[in-house]
Chain A
Amino acid sequence: NAGVTQTPKFQVLKTGQSMTLQCAQDMNHNSMYWYRQDPGMGLRLIYYSASEGTTDKGEVPNGYNVSRLNKREFSLRLESAAPSQTSVYFCASNDRGLNYGYTFGSGTRLTVV
């Protein structure tokens, strides 16, 4: 009954460091998404994967890369972290198209100093 699992839950990075945020879902969903949420900005789409083997840029992809490792897993990588990437990151998944909403993971709170 896990749904969407994100790791880590919290992370502090120094400017220039790299890290990968992990996301896995056990609902056999085809589509997966990475969002960031900042105060006053709402949720903004970073990257998405409509199905295994495909990835596409969202609204704010600069500074990020993604990998859809298999149907379950969709990771987000920061190659060289910047303070502007301090945010809360949410992974989400869904199936049957956008008419059915998303299931979100519990989020990763990232601080870049």
Chain B
Amino acid sequence: RKEVEQDPGPFNVPEGATVAFNCTYSNSASQSFFWYRQDCRKEPKLLMSVYSSGNEDGRFTAQLNRASQYISLLIRDSKLSDSATYLCVVNPYSGGGADGLTFGKGTHLIIQP
């Protein structure tokens, strides 16, 4: 049973374009959601949390659809530096326990000049 699913890509996108990817999660009781960015051979870094009402941080917009159990990330005016793997991350525990987040396998994004 795959708890967090993402399209692995790669998504090849020209610089300046808008790109969006989704992620689905299986546990309807999941409480919190995140997008992480991981550069090649580096550690994952928190890009943004995903709130129920949707949220924006500069060129990045994250949305949550609890009814359909998916999360989306939209990147506008993409830059070469946005090339990375984007990990969808879910807290599957409604009790707020510390026993670990669940990571998707990531979507690989390549921004082309």
- Interface size of A as a range: 20 to 34
Q: Are B98 and A107 in contact (CB under 8 A)?
A: no
**How would you classify the secondary structure of chain B's contact residues: helix, strand, loop or mixed?**
loop
Q: Specify which of B87, B101, B103, B106 is in contact with A98 (CB 8 Å cutoff).
A: B101
> Contact string, A49-66, partner B, CB cutoff 8 A, digits 1/0?
011000010110000000
A100 to B33, CA, bound (A): 9
Query: Does residue B66 face the partner (Cβ distance < 8 Å to A)?
Result: no
Query: Does residue A70 face the partner (Cβ distance < 8 Å to B)?
Result: no
Query: Does residue A97 face the partner (Cβ distance < 8 Å to B)?
Result: yes
Query: Does residue B91 face the partner (Cβ distance < 8 Å to A)?
Result: yes
A101 to B101, CA, bound (A): 8
Interface residues of A in 46-87 (CB under 8 A from B): 48, 50-51, 56, 58-59
Q: Could you tell me how many residues of chain B have their Cβ less than 8 Å away from some Cβ of chain A? A: 24
> Contact string, B32-72, partner A, CB cutoff 8 A, digits 1/0?
10101000001111100100000000000000000000000
Residues of A within 8 A of B45 (CB): 104
A75 to B93, CA, bound (A): 25
A9 to B42, CA, bound (A): 11
Q: Specify which of B42, B87, B99, B106 is in contact with A50 (CB 8 Å cutoff).
A: B99
Query: Does residue A25 face the partner (Cβ distance < 8 Å to B)?
Result: no
Closest Cβ of chain B to A35, distance in Å, is 8
Q: Specify which of A42, A56, A97 is in contact with B104 (CB 8 Å cutoff).
A: A42
A42 to B2, CA, bound (A): 11
Question: Given A40-B105, A42-B87, 5 other A-B contacts at CB below 8 A?
Answer: A90-B44, A98-B91, A98-B96, A98-B101, A102-B46
